[in-house]
Chains A and B, each alone.
Chain A
Amino acid sequence: MYRYDEFDHAMVKDRVEQFRGQIARRMAGEMTEEQFRPLRLQNGLYLQLHAYMLRVAIPYGQLNAVQMRKLAHIARTYDKGYGHFTTRQNIQYNWPKLSQVADILDELASVEMHAIQTSGNCIRNTTADQYAGVTADEIEDPRIYAEIIRQWSTFHPEFTFLPRKFKIAVSGAVGADRAAVRFHDIGLFIVKNDAGEVGFEVWVGGGLGRTPMIGKKIRGFVAKADLLAYLEAVLRVYNMLGRRDNMYKARVKILVHETGTEEFTRLVEKEFEDTQGGALDLPAEEIQRIADYFQPPAYEALSDDPPALTARRFEDKDFNNWVRVNVARHKAAGYAIANISLKPVGVPPGDVTADQMDAVADIAETFSLGGIRVTHEQNLVLPDVRQDQLYDLWLALREQGLADANLDHIGDMICCPGLDYCSLANARSIPIAERISQRFADLDRQYDIGELRLKISGCINACGHHHVGHIGILGVDRKDQEYYQITLGGAPGEDAAIGTKVGAAFSAAEIVDAVETVVNTYLALRQPKERFIDTFRRVGDAPFKESLYDKAA
């Protein structure tokens, strides 16, 4: 993984001291809260419903064991003993004290981490495919470019006061999109052109929130050397022309929509013509310098499906299920990618205790060459596990309550913090997630239902990605009561789609039954081996509406 050089270290260290000074000046009354607010936000510090919240960046979702132990230490020392992994490959602490924030940032800097630009109207943490570098279906490792973008976007003097936040995601995989690339302000797919050169396909204007939109492809190929010049062109057009009169219409998706994709593209191309070939040219030696950090480890010469694994799978049904559901193909023979579901029954999705973090760090060192990834689905990944050690890994995870075999099933929900924590929320989402996970706790039932992405947001800002859930749940406030709308048919990945509202909202008491009705309707309609989303696409929403609302019929 990437290691800081003297410059990166200095950058993060200077930033902590700068913020320490800003906090002191705020406390001394030398600036107003309004003036301080964007400064603290750009250092990851929010004011929530009950307390401050600190959001720490995990660039492109990559951690090592030492960093994970530091996250555990922070949870234990400065917070209430747990942390929350988010849909943007970050981790949030819900109870830090303002007076200790600079110390926490110091602790993070000591392991090459930071909370820079995890909030505010600037370029946020750049996310990537969690299987980067270990999946067989990859053109190039997206982490190389995500790291380049991380550096370019850090303290960019021109883009720290954009109309609104700006999120970039990168994927290098062919045919699979695990990073919801089309739902980002800029989505980059690494592609090969006809000449065999590797570059980027650029999508702009995707996003969820109040106005969910799938991004628009504005360029089929940007050469590597031009990557930063092209990104800068998009950002400059957005910074100058994005709306600032209404924060709900300020994202680049609205600018693209109102300007028209063709005109927006023309403006970007014109800007790009002026910047291309200049100081932003990305030198091949810098790409190589960063790529060197992401060279694959020396894998041992092994073969797939070793007898030890096959035997264990045959003997132990639970283990076999976990392998079938949570383990993915690795590019190196004899290795595997193991997912750790952070969605056990009855625990808020994405929450991990300090002890579990320490355990994951130890486990990663023992079984995965020390590497850990964080996914936008709020799970963890051990990217480099020997297949003949999967069983021992599974036993170790099970001991920590981290061996739930529900990846991509109904138990594996995305869920925002909701009204339990968030000052924007209209309704609680965590208790709904808990009740759904209890209702569908039976794993055999989950396996019978098959792949089903359920996503819950506690308000229209859609942090729980409900628009791209096969089943989405949106919390709304109706006369001071919490109600929940259901959307159906969304999808985040290569088959990107935005779900549509199925009808009137349900009360908190009714919503779990309603979800079960939707699931049962699917089970009655499906053809052999047909996933929920495919059945929905085949039959449309009419049968679901009927079973949800025409109870007399």
Chain B
Amino acid sequence: MTKLLKDGTVTNDPWIHVADGDAVPESGPVIVTLARWQAEHNSLAGRADGLGIRLESGQSPEVIKDDLAHFAVVALAFPKFADGRAYSHARMLKDRLGYTGEVRAVGDVLRDQYRAMYRCGFDALEISGDHPADKLEADWRSALGELRHAYQPSLRGPEPVLRQRHRAAAA
């Protein structure tokens, strides 16, 4: 069973992924594919209960940059944990395209990548497998805390070392 880890807490996930062949439920928040969005743009755009979009790792957020206001969630897929394209896509969404909704990681999302995902701007992680909620939350805390510092500026996480150094020097 898939669980949603958001801000370090396992939460109820009201969102439903709708695969391309399936009918879109009449009500409730749904996450559709890029193909569906492009084909059914008109009917989906007016949905009252919330709309999300799922991008595969080969689909750049650039293609939806003018549509972002329609989406409360952008789900970025990790077909394999070692396919790292979505890290750049998350940053692009938040940094360059100014997206303020939820960016969530879906697919092969593993504990040893939580920290990188967090720093690249992911707000929520869908985690598959039968893990107890408290285990996931404990994993999250330890994954984020394993390294105290970070050299690079990033969307979240520790203040970059470089800035800490020079603040200390100025003080």
In-complex Cβ contact of B116 among A160, A244, A274, A286 (8 A): A160
In-complex Cβ contact of A38 among B82, B91, B152 (8 A): B82
Task: Sort chain A's interface into a size bin.
Answer: 35 or more
Please give, as numbers and ranges, the residues of chain A lying within 8 Å of B81 by CB-CB distance. Answer: 35, 161
Interface residue SS majority, chain A = helix
Given contacts A17-B146, A35-B81, A151-B161, contact A161 B87 (CB under 8 A): yes
Smallest Cβ distance from B164 to chain A, in angstroms?
Answer: 7
Please give, as numbers and ranges, the residues of chain B lying within 8 Å of A8 by CB-CB distance. Answer: 161
Q: How far is the CA of A162 from the CA of B120 in the complex (A)?
A: 14
- Interface presence of A27 (CB below 8 A): no
> 0/1 per residue, A128-172, Cβ < 8 Å to B?
000000000000000000000001101111111110000000000
Please give, as numbers and ranges, the residues of chain B lying within 8 Å of A289 by CB-CB distance. Answer: 165-166, 169
| CB atoms of B96 and A159 under 8 A apart | no
Please give, as numbers and ranges, the residues of chain A lying within 8 Å of B152 by CB-CB distance. Answer: 152, 155-157, 280
Smallest Cβ distance from A396 to chain B, in angstroms?
Answer: 40
In-complex Cβ contact of B60 among A5, A155, A240, A283 (8 A): A240
Smallest Cβ distance from B141 to chain A, in angstroms?
Answer: 13
Which of B112, B146, B154, B165 lies at the interface centre, i.e. has the most chain A CB atoms within 10 A of its CB?
B112
In-complex Cβ contact of A11 among B119, B147, B153, B166 (8 A): B147
- Interface presence of A39 (CB below 8 A): yes
In-complex Cβ contact of B164 among A7, A17, A158 (8 A): A7
- Interface presence of B28 (CB below 8 A): no
Residues facing A in B156-171 (CB within 8 A) are: 157, 160-162, 164-166, 169
Q: How far is the CA of A283 from the CA of B81 in the complex (A)?
A: 34
> 0/1 per residue, A1-18, Cβ < 8 Å to B?
000010110110011011
> 0/1 per residue, B74-114, Cβ < 8 Å to A?
00000001111101110100011000000000000010100
Q: How far is the CA of A110 from the CA of B162 in the complex (A)?
A: 22
Please give, as numbers and ranges, the residues of chain A lying within 8 Å of B85 by CB-CB distance. Answer: 239-240, 244
Q: How far is the CA of A222 from the CA of B38 in the complex (A)?
A: 40
In-complex Cβ contact of B84 among A5, A159, A280 (8 A): A159
Given contacts A38-B82, A160-B84, A239-B85, contact A286 B166 (CB under 8 A): yes
Q: Please name 17 pairs of A and B residues whose Cβ atoms are closer than 8 Å in the assembled complex, sorted by A.
A: A14-B149, A31-B110, A121-B84, A152-B151, A152-B152, A157-B87, A157-B116, A157-B120, A158-B84, A158-B88, A158-B116, A158-B154, A159-B84, A239-B87, A239-B88, A274-B95, A286-B165
- B residues contacting A by CB (< 8 A) are 60, 81-85, 87-89, 91, 95-96, 110, 112, 115-117, 119-120, 146-154, 157, 160-162, 164-166, 169
- A residues contacting B by CB (< 8 A) are 5, 7-8, 10-11, 14-15, 17-18, 21-22, 31, 35, 38-39, 121, 151-152, 154-162, 236, 239-240, 244, 274, 278-280, 283, 285-286, 289
Extra contacts, 11 of them, besides A274-B96, A289-B169 (Cβ < 8 A), are A11-B161, A38-B82, A152-B151, A157-B120, A161-B87, A239-B87, A274-B95, A279-B153, A280-B152, A286-B162, A289-B166
